[in-house]
Structure 1
């Protein structure tokens, strides 16, 4: 994996087989937000993350494995299992 493929803002994810699309997902962006979890871990607002890898764990424990920086941007609790809402992000600028 090339370090240059990581977004400068540190908001990146690895995805499970369902989103990987035989590698076509690499580079895709998703807008996401935390919607629930134990003891109300969610922060308000949304972030945009970029797919940089396939989840290496089999089976992958989740649909999206967030970087620490991305996770901390949407959750108050670093160890919580959270539910997120996400949609593919398209920048029309």
Structure 2
């Protein structure tokens, strides 16, 4: 069942979503902002080691989480929470970083903004999952999984009708700042 949100009313925004507390709400200025959220550890409540193998998720702020009920920075959707931690843990310690870029709602992946011309929001990237980028970017933080188009050269002299300029090979890399690292 879909519930109305403070930012978008009854318009469905997918499942990788969250509500913002006063610390980032900014009188509704947080609406639509994207955050990479990383599970750090458990709290003294619930499961002692709740973080899953995929310890980060990118989500969109769609609602407000008012005090006193909101006792954290972000209130993640069930799907977003369960993708980074054991849903039975209830509350976890997180780090979060606002991200910019094109968001593919089907995968919950951030694409650098220049991909918006190449990829359409409705395209499915079947079989592709972001790698875990924790500790993959040396000491640089945040280390974010991103898709890149690797440089390619044509190695044969095929006829021009064989050339397909609309096809782009994509590969996963871990990115920190403007540097790319192998996952």
Write the mapping of 1:10-89 to structure 2, written as runs, cut at 5 A.
10-37=15-42, 38-45=47-54, 46-58=56-68, 60-89=70-99
Distance 1:26 1:72 in 2: 22
| Aligned pairs, number | 91
Unaligned runs of 5+ in 2: 102-111, 114-183
Q: Give TM-score, length-normalised by structure 2.
A: 0.46
**Distance verdict in 2 for CA 1:5–1:23, change over 3 Å:** farther
> Quick one: higher RCO (CA 8 Å, sep 6+), 1 or 2?
1
1:3 corresponds to 2:13: no
Distance 1:22 1:56 in 2: 11
Q: Give TM-score, length-normalised by structure 1.
A: 0.85
RMSD, aligned α-carbons: 1.7
Shift of 1:5: 4.5
Shift of 1:76: 1.9
Unaligned runs of 5+ in 1: none
Describe the SS at the equivalent of 1:78: helix
Contact persistence 2:81–2:87 (CA under 8 A): no
Q: Which has the higher helix share?
A: 1
